[in-house]
Structure 1
Amino acid sequence: MRALVTGCGRRLGFYLCEQLVASGWQVTGSYRSERPELAQLRALGVELVQADFAREGGVDGLIAALSAHEDLALVIHNASAFEPQAEDPALQREQFDRFYRVHMAAPFALNHALAPQLARQPNASIIHITDIYIHASAPQFAAYVATKAGAHSLAMSFARELAPAVRVNTIEPGPILFLDEHGDAWRQQVLAKTPLAREGGLEPIWQAVKLLMENDYMTGASIRVDGGRSLAVI
């Protein structure tokens, strides 16, 4: 069976590709720009397709590449864009458009295009990676949060539309893996309001992915993998 992982060039997407290959899956991964980590995925046999979701028609080449794979059974929407909201209103509009294309328009196009292929496989599923902050206001990240919330809504709509042939679920990560630019003070502030009081790492997300892959009676579900962080922010 084949899986698609978008945003495979680093962090979670890279890790999911590794785990899927180790589990016996054929994997196609999409990436926006070339990165050293991609050489490792190529060495594992991952089919890599360059796709800039922030551009009009950025998914077209990826859809074309996947059309050759009749064994497609899993899609993981991991590609994401993230940055604080710009102060300039004109730049805010540009940010929103970019986040919308990456978090909503690209998954929408991929789900519609790939649904017929997925429906031919037993227990096929789609997983959208969203964020716990879709349930909380965050003015400094308004465009990011709004479009991630839109991705959640899309997933719920597709769960109804594509049933019973294809299951659609979401995973809502919390403080899984801090970015390099996150300072110690900020990290401690976040962890102080996280009941499990530690960074989660990538393995808990893979565990949630496996659950959603294997449990054939789950669709329209959302799993929070956040160490309890949502208890403090929602």
Structure 2
Amino acid sequence: MPAAILITGVGKRVGFYLAKHLAQQGHKVIGTYRSQYPQLQELEALGVELHRCDFYHDAQLDELLQKLAQQSAFKALIHNASDWLPDGDTTSALSIMDKMMRIHVSVPYTINLALADQLKANSGMADIIHITDYVAEKGSKKHAAYAASKAALQNLTLSFAAKYAPEVKVNSIAPALLMFNPDDDEHYKQKALNKSLMTKEGGEVEILNAINYLLQSHYVTGQTLKIDGGRHLV
């Protein structure tokens, strides 16, 4: 059984793009998704093994881990699954923080621990890649819980890099704007583009290029690759 690449959150956008292109590159890809999307049929046609799992439910996560335990080796774990909840009032604050920490921290932490043996069983060096966010270091006025959880995920990168070396490399990718949503208006788009030196969308390919770099490296670990179009200089 060939070593697999696990990608969480492959239903749309970046996760779908990564699963599609890594499968086309010849990798065995296992993907998780929360909601059904028509494009998942395209991934199935490419041979991607799909598992529906709502990470907010313990029973579904446990079932997923039992299925993943049947895989003899993993080449990489790519933690892409995410949620983006705005901060609420005092009645909802604790719930929002719990959800953000669960999806971005508790679930990757649990999966990393559960699949440690399969990562180390890979014939070559294995990888864990956490998809964090530009706001992990900047913070956010309207999405403080989200930003804090992504910062915690970035910190997990350091812990697991030290814990699993030298058999497993562990790194983060921290993107800023990659692509707009279909309902974003022109005023918002222009305002967002002006926040970076490059004044354009990065596109999903930037994440794919970063992942390919990390997968091919034999030396980089405990690092965060920032894909932000030069936002820190604006």
Question: Normalising to structure 2: TM-score of the pair?
Answer: 0.95
Aligned partners of 1:176 and 1:96: how far apart in 2? Answer: 25
RMSD of aligned Cα (Å): 1.2
1:217-228 matched pairs, under 5 angstroms: 217-228=219-230
Aligned residue-pair number = 231
SS at match of 1:64: helix
Percent identical: 39
Deviation at 1:227, TM superposition (A): 1.1
Q: Give the aligned partner of residue 178 of structure 1.
A: 180
1:150-161 matched pairs, under 5 angstroms: 150-161=152-163
Answer whether contact 1:132 1:230 (CA < 8 A) is retained. Answer: no
Deviation at 1:115, TM superposition (A): 0.9
1:51-200 matched pairs, under 5 angstroms: 51-86=53-88, 88-121=89-122, 122-200=124-202
Which runs of at least 4 in structure 1 moved beyond 4 Å after TM superposition? Answer: none
Q: Give the aligned partner of residue 9 of structure 1.
A: 11
Q: Give the aligned partner of residue 211 of structure 1.
A: 213
Single out whichever of 133-142 and 100-109 deviates more from structure 2.
133-142
Deviation at 1:57, TM superposition (A): 4.3
Answer whether contact 1:159 1:219 (CA < 8 A) is retained. Answer: yes
Per the alignment, do residues 4 and 90 of structure 1 end up closer, same or farther by CA in structure 2, a change over 3 Å counting? same
Deviation at 1:139, TM superposition (A): 2.1
Answer whether contact 1:78 1:128 (CA < 8 A) is retained. Answer: yes
**Residue ranges of structure 2 left out of the alignment (5+ in a row):** none
Q: Residue type matched to 1:91 in 2?
A: S
Question: Normalising to structure 1: TM-score of the pair?
Answer: 0.95
Alpha-carbon displacement from aligned partner over 1:104-133 (angstroms, at most 9, x marks no partner): 000000000011110111110000000011
SS at match of 1:82: coil
Answer whether contact 1:176 1:202 (CA < 8 A) is retained. Answer: yes
Aligned partners of 1:33 and 1:136: how far apart in 2? Answer: 30
SS at match of 1:73: strand
SS at match of 1:139: coil
Answer whether contact 1:174 1:230 (CA < 8 A) is retained. Answer: no
Aligned partners of 1:173 and 1:82: how far apart in 2? Answer: 14
Aligned partners of 1:7 and 1:38: how far apart in 2? Answer: 11
Aligned partners of 1:182 and 1:18: how far apart in 2? Answer: 25
SS at match of 2:11: coil
Answer whether contact 1:54 1:99 (CA < 8 A) is retained. Answer: no
